[in-house]
């Protein structure tokens, strides 16, 4: 049986239904499919084509996905933040025959299309990720694997207006796009990457469902305008959702359903937690009836067994004999709860002692007067690295007193090597293009 394509699913909705709102304009189902068909016709691609979609704006990406899914062999999605060298390398590694960017679509020179593609029934969606070496890797998904957990209850979801804050070409952005498109919801997208304009768009469209990293949620709460949105669905992903941010969102939006999701480009969507508590139940470990089978290795690595295993050498190298994938996330079990500690590759080495930045951040956030914090390693000729922390204080806080409070609290709760040797007060924190905390070195 031929797999469903994105356009065939969208085509099942009312043609006059609005699916995308952008820059004061609206796009209906019929208009989207018309644009997609026009793009497909003029592209002159075949089932053997492999297309690189490079840094496309959300509306252009949605049109391209609707045009090509199920009609070509593979689609490589490159975020706008990809540098040209890495991007060209990934395009070559994926064997792309065509490239689509802001200037349109064109065939690449000296690239032959295969007469018959093994992905003719299910187009492969190639998403780049960074492995432990920082070198981008390609992870192969299909529409089916990407939408395994998407809620497609149209009667329930049609009243949602989803806002898009993520880069549409990244895994998290795709999840928002596909959730909206496949459930009959309206998707609100901004033509700008400017945070202020993005928030203005969310408020103008009356967004009531929003997904963001904890870093972006803290930024939204500090900005304040997001409180004007009648949020009914709040989703957190991409980073550790600690109790402080969960409680903060519940305080601001008491009527909203708050969910934090464990997902990655490699594993897809693993599970979601709805109980308002950080971490996840320890009862889910070694439990075949859990949302996804999970184990904790002796070294603290979380292993999961995805329902659908993506393709690619990066994945194959991290699977054990039982089909469990090393997520490279560290966890710790405390009582009846499992808490995330951070990425195995993200520790700070202080004189041979490993310090998890997220663990130190969690402690510092307990200090009154601290709105947000970013912990990272700074090079040290004596210790290899020392712990540094950038602090965003609450308005009007006495800096000298807050500095003393932070150091006293850290000395009472942390080991000596975990205590920040450098404290800086800043007005805001930088995030990566994926909306995550940027840890400087």
Decide if 374 contacts 390 (C-beta within 8 A).
yes
Decide if 294 contacts 262 (C-beta within 8 A).
no
pLDDT computed for residue 284 by the predictor:
95
pLDDT computed for residue 6 by the predictor:
95
Query: Where is 358: in which H helix or E strand?
Result: helix 357-364
pLDDT computed for residue 52 by the predictor:
97
Dihedral sign (CA 261, 262, 267, 270): negative
Please state, in angstroms and rounded to a whole number, the distance separating the CA atoms of residues 421 and 103. Answer: 49
| Nearest one of 369, 438, 361, 433 to 397, comparing CA atoms | 369
Q: Is the pLDDT of residue 370 over 90?
A: yes
Of the chain, the percentage scoring pLDDT greater than 70 comes to 93
pLDDT, mean of residues 419-435: 90
Please state, in angstroms and rounded to a whole number, the distance separating the CA atoms of residues 49 and 107. Answer: 9
Q: How far apart are the first and last CA of the chain?
A: 52
Please state, in angstroms and rounded to a whole number, the distance separating the CA atoms of residues 344 and 186. Answer: 38
Q: How many helices (H) and strands (E) does the chain have?
A: 13, 24
Q: Is the pLDDT of residue 168 over 70?
A: yes
Beta-strand runs (E) in 317-395: 325-334, 337-343, 348-350, 353-355, 370-380, 384-393
Reported as a pLDDT band with limits 50, 70 and 90, residue 86 is confident
| Nearest one of 182, 124, 189 to 157, comparing CA atoms | 182
Pure H helices in 205-268: 214-223, 243-252
Query: Where is 212: in which H helix or E strand?
Result: strand 209-212
Q: Is the pLDDT of residue 241 over 70?
A: yes
CA atoms within 13 A on the CB side of 194: 6
- Report the predicted TM-score, pTM, of the whole model to 2 decimal places: 0.88
pLDDT computed for residue 132 by the predictor:
39
pLDDT computed for residue 118 by the predictor:
43
| C-beta atoms surrounding 274 within 10 Å | 9
Decide if 153 contacts 185 (C-beta within 8 A).
no
**Which residues, 6 or more positions from 440, have their beta carbon under 8 angstroms from its beta carbon?**
376, 430
Beta-strand runs (E) in 265-310: 268-273, 280-281, 294-296, 301-304
Decide if 263 contacts 146 (C-beta within 8 A).
no
Rounded to the nearest 5°, which phi and psi values hold at 13? Answer: -90, 165
Digit-coded pLDDT (tens) for 281-324: 999 998 878 888 999 999 999 999 877 766 666 677 788 888 88
Pairing label, strands 348-350, 337-343:
unpaired
Reported as a pLDDT band with limits 50, 70 and 90, residue 277 is very high
Reported as a pLDDT band with limits 50, 70 and 90, residue 116 is very low
Q: Using N-to-C axis directions, what is the helix angle for 357-364 and 399-413, rounded to 10°?
A: 120
pLDDT computed for residue 131 by the predictor:
44
Q: Is the pLDDT of residue 359 over 90?
A: yes
3-state secondary structure of 434: coil
Please state, in angstroms and rounded to a whole number, the distance separating the CA atoms of residues 180 and 150. Answer: 9
Please state, in angstroms and rounded to a whole number, the distance separating the CA atoms of residues 166 and 176. Answer: 8
| Nearest one of 72, 75, 76, 69 to 47, comparing CA atoms | 72
């Amino acid at each position: 049986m031929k797999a469903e394509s994105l356009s065939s699913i969208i085509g099942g909705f009312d043609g006059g239904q609005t699916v995308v709102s952008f820059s004061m304009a609206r796009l209906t189902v019929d208009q989207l499919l018309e644009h997609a068909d026009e793009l497909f016709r003029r592209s002159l691609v075949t089932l053997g084509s492999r297309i690189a979609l490079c840094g496309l704006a959300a509306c252009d990406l949605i049109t391209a996905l609707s045009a090509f899914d199920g009609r070509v062999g593979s689609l490589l999605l490159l975020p706008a933040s990809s540098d040209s060298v890495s991007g060209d390398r990934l395009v070559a590694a994926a064997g792309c025959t065509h490239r689509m960017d802001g200037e349109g679509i064109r065939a690449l020179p000296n690239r032959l299309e295969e007469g018959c593609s093994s992905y003719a029934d299910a187009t492969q969606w190639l998403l780049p990720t960074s492995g432990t070496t920082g070198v981008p890797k390609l992870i192969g998904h299909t529409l089916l694997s990407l939408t395994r957990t998407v809620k497609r209850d149209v009667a329930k979801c049609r009243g949602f207006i989803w806002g898009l804050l993520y880069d549409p070409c990244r895994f998290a952005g795709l999840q928002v796009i596909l959730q909206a498109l496949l459930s009959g919801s309206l998707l609100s997208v901004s033509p700008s990457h400017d945070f202020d304009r993005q928030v203005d768009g969310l408020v103008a469209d009356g967004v009531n469902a929003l997904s963001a990293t904890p870093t972006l949620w803290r930024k939204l709460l500090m900005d304040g305008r997001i409180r004007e949105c009648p949020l009914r669905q709040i989703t957190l992903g991409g980073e550790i959702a600690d109790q402080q941010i969960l409680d903060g969102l519940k305080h601001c939006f008491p009527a909203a359903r708050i969910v934090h999701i464990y997902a990655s480009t490699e594993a897809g969507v693993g599970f979601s937690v709805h109980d308002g508590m950080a971490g996840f139940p320890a009862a889910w470990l070694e439990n075949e009836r859990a949302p996804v089978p999970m184990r904790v290795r002796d070294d603290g690595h979380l292993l999961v067994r995805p329902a659908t295993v993506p393709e690619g050498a990066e994945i194959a190298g991290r699977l054990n004999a039982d089909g469990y994938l090393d997520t490279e996330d560290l966890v710790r079990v405390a009582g009846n709860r499992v808490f995330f500690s951070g990425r195995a590759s993200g520790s700070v080495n202080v004189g041979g002692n490993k310090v998890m930045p997220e663990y130190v951040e969690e402690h510092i956030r307990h200090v009154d007067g601290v709105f947000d914090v970013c912990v990272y390693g700074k090079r040290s000729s004596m210790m290899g690295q020392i712990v540094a922390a950038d602090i965003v204080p609450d308005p009007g806080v006495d800096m000298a007193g807050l500095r003393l409070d932070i150091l006293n609290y850290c000395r009472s709760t942390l080991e000596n090597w975990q205590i920040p040797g450098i404290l800086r007060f800043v007005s805001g924190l930088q995030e990566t293009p994926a909306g995550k905390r940027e840890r400087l070195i």
